[in-house]
């Protein structure tokens, strides 16, 4: 059993938990994930590692309450125990000294972007971070992101805090003005798609972290299948990070829309923004 040592409500729907899991903390790396089961009859929930402390033997997870299992998890408190906390799973982020890099996070994607930005900064990179949320009430870990970033840009859709923009707007400005080596992007799939489309125009290597439907986490069920230029891969064992320029985004979004209502909402919002951009530019083909 795995004990919940700490619980925080980051906003109305997003919770943080620090879990006592020494064997996971000992081997965890930025970009990896765990699979959580609340009890012996619970659903297996994949959650990206938001932070870890090897000395204390703890792992931090952040999740949004969107369904029965995550709402059940969010109702637990400090001192409660989890039946399963399997990990670390997936491949860790390839951390080395690249030069100037950009980390882009959308919504709850701020949580998994943080350890990546932290590791990149510790490796000697100049880290520019862009984080975007719908409104100020959904923002969290701003100060943590500042500590691991040389520059931090905060965007809100409604302009209630920071810059009124979607993350691709400042991203395009930076790519136009500076020599950027790599970009990491984590958030709604539709956001990662538009980030990848933009960075491809500038020929900047882009890594995205996918959060697909997942059951066993060992590559056996096939539920997390994603199509790349070279063929099908499994997010749980081949990812969760992939080259954003090689993903078949139409296939990925189609599969996610079947199961995930929040992706439909996010897709509609981003596609609306994209259509507005086309209308302003007069370009109906992009």
Helix (H, G, I), strand (E, B) or coil at 149: coil
Sorted by sequence, the CB contacts under 8 Å of residue 191 that are 6+ apart come out as: 104, 106, 109, 132, 166, 167, 168, 185, 266, 270
pLDDT for the residue 250: 86
Length of the chain measured in residues: 286
Rounded distance between C-alpha atoms, residue 121 and residue 123, angstroms: 5
Helix (H, G, I), strand (E, B) or coil at 88: strand
Region of residue 87 (phi > 0: left; psi between -120 and 50: alpha; otherwise: beta) = left
Q: What pTM was computed for the model?
A: 0.85
- As given in the structure block, the two tokens for residue 33 are 């994930």
CA 59 remoteness from chain centre:
17
Domains annotated for the chain, with CATH where assigned, are 2-89 (2.40.30.10), 100-203+251-281 (3.40.50.80)
Rounded distance between C-alpha atoms, residue 174 and residue 100, angstroms: 11
pLDDT for the residue 148: 96
pLDDT for the residue 68: 85
Q: Which helix (H) or strand (E) holds 144?
A: helix 142-147
Rounded distance between C-alpha atoms, residue 190 and residue 128, angstroms: 21
Residues in the chain with pLDDT values less than 50: 262-268, 278-282, 284-286
pLDDT for the residue 266: 47
Rounded distance between C-alpha atoms, residue 181 and residue 60, angstroms: 29
Q: Where are the alpha helices (DSSP H) in 28-107?
A: 68-74
């Amino acid at each position: 059993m795995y004990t919940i040592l700490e619980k925080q409500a980051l906003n109305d729907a997003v919770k943080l938990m620090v879990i006592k899991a020494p064997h996971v903390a000992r081997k965890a790396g930025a970009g990896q994930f765990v699979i959580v089961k609340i009890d012996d009859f619970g659903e297996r929930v994949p959650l990206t590692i938001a932070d870890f402390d090897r000395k204390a033997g703890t792992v931090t997870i952040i999740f949004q309450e969107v369904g029965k299992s995550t709402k059940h998890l969010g109702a637990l408190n400090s001192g409660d125990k989890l039946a399963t906390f399997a990990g670390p799973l997936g491949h860790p982020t390839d951390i080395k000294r690249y030069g100037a890099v950009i980390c882009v996070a959308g919504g709850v994607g701020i949580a998994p972007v943080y350890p990546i930005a932290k590791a990149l900064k510790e490796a000697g990179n100049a880290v520019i971070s862009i984080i975007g949320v719908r409104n100020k009430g959904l923002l969290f870990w701003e100060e943590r992101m500042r500590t691991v970033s040389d520059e931090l840009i905060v965007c809100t859709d409604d302009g209630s805090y920071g810059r009124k923009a979607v993350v691709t707007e400042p991203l395009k400005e930076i790519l136009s003005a500076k020599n950027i080596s790599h970009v990491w992007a984590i958030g709604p799939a539709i956001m990662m798609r538009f980030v990848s489309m933009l960075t491809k125009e500038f020929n900047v290597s882009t890594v995205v972290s996918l959060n697909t439907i997942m059951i066993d986490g060992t590559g056996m069920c096939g539920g997390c299948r994603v199509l790349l230029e070279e063929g099908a891969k499994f997010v749980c064992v081949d990812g969760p990070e992939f080259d954003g320029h090689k993903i078949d985004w139409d296939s990925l979004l189609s599969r996610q829309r079947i199961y995930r209502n929040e992706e439909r909402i996010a897709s509609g919002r981003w596609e609306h923004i994209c259509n507005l951009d086309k209308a302003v530019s007069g370009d109906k083909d992009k």
